[in-house]
Amino acid sequence: MKAAIIGLAGATLGAEETALLRHAPPAGVILFARNVTTPAALSRLIDDLRAILPAAAVVMIDQEGGRVARLRPPFWREHPAAAALGRLYAHDPAAGRRAAFLQGALIGGECAASGLDVVTAPVLDLAIPGADAVIGDRAFAADPEAVAALGAALASGLLAAGVQPVMKHIPGHGRAEADSHLTLPVVAASDLAADVAPFAANAPLPWAMTAHILYPALDPARPATLSPTIIRDVIRGAIGFAGVLVSDDLAMRALTGAPGDLAVAALDAGCDLVLHCTGALAETASLLDACPAITPAAGERLAAARALARTRRDPALLAAREALAAEREALLG
Q: Number of C-alpha atoms within 13 angstroms, CB side, residue 51?
A: 9
Q: Could you give the residue numbers annotated as active site? A: 181, 248
Q: Is it true that the peptide bond before 169 is cis, omega within 30 degrees of 0?
A: yes
Phi–psi pair at 223, nearest 5 degrees: -65, 160
* Cα 219 from Cα 171, distance rounded (Å): 12
**What b/e sequence results for 7-37 when a residue is b if at least 16 CB atoms lie within 10 Å of its CB, and e otherwise?**
bbbebebeeebeebbeebbbbbbbbeeebbe
| Sign of the torsion angle spanned by Cα atoms 202, 208, 209, 211 | positive
Rama region for 136: left / alpha / beta (φ>0; ψ in -120 to 50; rest): left
Phi–psi pair at 100, nearest 5 degrees: -65, -40
Phi–psi pair at 45, nearest 5 degrees: -60, -45
Contact between 223 and 260 (Cβ < 8 Å): no
Write out the DSSP string of 295-320: PHHHHHHHHHHHHHHHHH--HHHHTT
